[in-house]
Amino acid sequence: MKRIVTIQDISCVGKCSLTTALPILSAMGMETAVLPTAVLSNHTAFSSFTFHDLTDEIPKILEVWKQQKFQFEAVYSGYLGSIRQIELVRKLQKEFTEPSALLFVDPAMADGGSLYKGFTGQFAAAMQKLCSHADVIAPNLTEACIMTGTPYREDGDELYCRDIVKRLADQGAKNVILTGFSYGRGEIGALTYDRDKDEFRAYVNEKLPVVFHGTGDIFASVTLGGLMNGFSLGNAVRLAVDYTLACVRATMADEHHNWYGVNFEEALPYLIDRLRSLKGKAENVQKREGSQNKRDADSRPAENSVHTHVV
Ligand code: PXL
C-alpha cells in the first residue's frame, strides 16, 4: 500500500479539503496521513466561521515523524493558511520523501477572478514558488492568472489557456492541470501540459448548469489517487472529471441537496468501479504484451470519454 500525506485544513462542516480528500484517497487504496493546517467550524463560503490556526503544531509533529522515520510517496497540499505553512510543504518534500516521490500542489487560494478571503499577494507569490518545485499543479484559471501575472478573462479561448499553462510549466512545474477548462458552454474539464513530453491534452465532459462548493478538492484528490495508482496524467484527469460530474449528478438527484458540498459519498461506488476497470485493463495488457509494455496500458481511452484532444 502506498503511503502519502496531505496537508490542508479540516473544515468541520461543508465538505471540502480533508473531509473529502481523506475518504476519496482511502477509497482509491492510499494510506493517507494528514497534516491539518487549521480547524474551522465550517468552510469560508459560509457567512461566518471560526479559524484555529495549527501552524505551531506542525513542526512538533514533523519532529516526531522524523524520529519515527516516516516517509511518503507523495505530498499533496491543498488549502493552506499562511506562508509558513507553504514553507512546511517544502520541508515535507525535502525531508520526508525520496526524490522519486510526487509533490502535488492544488494552490486553493482564489476563484472567480479574485483571491479567497484572507489571502494576500505575498501568499500568492510564495504559492507560485512552491508550484515551481511541484511535479503536478492543479490551479483553476484565476490561480493560474495570478501566478503568471495574466489579466483574468472568463471567456479566454484555448490559445489563451495554453499560453498560461505553458508559462506555469516554464516556471518549473513538471505537469500543469488547468481545472475548469472548456471549449464552450455546456462542457467542463481540464487542460493539461506535460513538460517532458511537450504535450497538451484536454478532456471535457458535460457541465450541468449548477455551481457547488468543494468540487475542486474532489477533482484534485481523484487526480492524485489516479496518478498514485499508476495511471497516466491523461487517464487520471479523465477519471477525476468524470467522477466530479458523477458527484454533481448525485447531488442534483436529491431534492434536499445542500449548496455547500457535493454528494461525493453516493458516487464512490462509481469511482471504485472505474478504478478497477482501469487497473484491470492495465493488467490484461501486461499479461498479453509482457511487463515491458505495462506503462503504456493506462494511456488507452477510458470508457465514457466524451471529448478528448491530444494537441
Ligand atoms: O475548497 C477549498 C477550501 C478549502 N478549505 C476552506 C475553504 C475552501 C474554499 O473556500 O474555505 C476552509
Interval 41-58: pLDDT, tens: 999 999 999 999 999 999
Q: Tell me if 242 CB under 6 Å of ligand 1.
A: no
Q: Tell me if 270 CB under 6 Å of ligand 1.
A: no
| Predicted local distance difference test score (pLDDT) of residue 292 | 61
| Confidence check: pLDDT of 175 > 90 | yes
Strands 51-53 and 31-40: antiparallel
Label residue 107 exposed, middle or buried (CB < 10 Å: 0-12, 13-18, 19+).
buried
Reported as type and span, the H/E element at residue 205 is strand 199-206
Mean pLDDT of 70-95: 97
| Predicted local distance difference test score (pLDDT) of residue 213 | 92
| Predicted local distance difference test score (pLDDT) of residue 63 | 98
Calculate the average pLDDT of the chain. 92
Between the alpha carbon of residue 181 and those of residues 148, 178, 189, the distances in Å are: 17, 6, 5
| Predicted local distance difference test score (pLDDT) of residue 283 | 81
Helices and strands counted in the chain (H then E): 10, 12
Per the model's pLDDT, the better-predicted residue between 225 and 292 turns out to be 225
> Both ends of the chain: CA-CA distance in Å?
35
Which residue's CA is the closest to the ligand 1 atom numbered 7? 43
Q: Answer left, alpha or beta for residue 305, where phi above 0 means left and psi between -120 and 50 means alpha.
A: beta
Residue 74: pLDDT band with limits 50, 70, 90:
very high
Distance 17 CA to ligand 1 centre (A): 7
Cell of 291: 511487463
Distance 50 CA to ligand 1 centre (A): 13
Atom of ligand 1 nearest to the CA of 40: 12
For a pocket test of ligand 1, which of 43, 52, 221 has the largest count of ligand atoms closer than 8 A to its C-beta? 43
Q: How far apart are CA 45 and CA 249, in angstroms?
A: 22
| Confidence check: pLDDT of 132 > 90 | yes
Q: Tell me if 214 CB under 6 Å of ligand 1.
A: yes
Per the model's pLDDT, the better-predicted residue between 64 and 302 turns out to be 64
| Confidence check: pLDDT of 299 > 50 | no
Helix axis angle, 268-289 to 18-27, nearest 10°: 40
| Predicted local distance difference test score (pLDDT) of residue 295 | 56
Residue 184: pLDDT band with limits 50, 70, 90:
confident
Please, which residues have CB within 8 angstroms of residue 307's CB and are 6 or more apart in sequence?
A: 183, 187, 189, 202, 203, 204, 205
Distance 18 CA to ligand 1 centre (A): 10
Atom of ligand 1 nearest to the CA of 11: 12
Residues listed for the chain? 311
| Predicted local distance difference test score (pLDDT) of residue 293 | 57
Residue with cell 499543479: 137
Atom of ligand 1 nearest to the CA of 116: 10
Distance 43 CA to ligand 1 centre (A): 5
Mean pLDDT of 129-143: 98
Cell of 205: 465532459
Cell of 297: 496500458
| Predicted local distance difference test score (pLDDT) of residue 289 | 75
Q: Tell me if 116 CB under 6 Å of ligand 1.
A: yes
Atom of ligand 1 nearest to the CA of 17: 4
Reported as type and span, the H/E element at residue 132 is helix 121-132
Closest CA to 114 of 85, 83, 140: 140
Residue 164: pLDDT band with limits 50, 70, 90:
very high
Q: Tell me if 216 CB under 6 Å of ligand 1.
A: yes
For a pocket test of ligand 1, which of 7, 9, 12, 114 has the largest count of ligand atoms closer than 8 A to its C-beta? 9
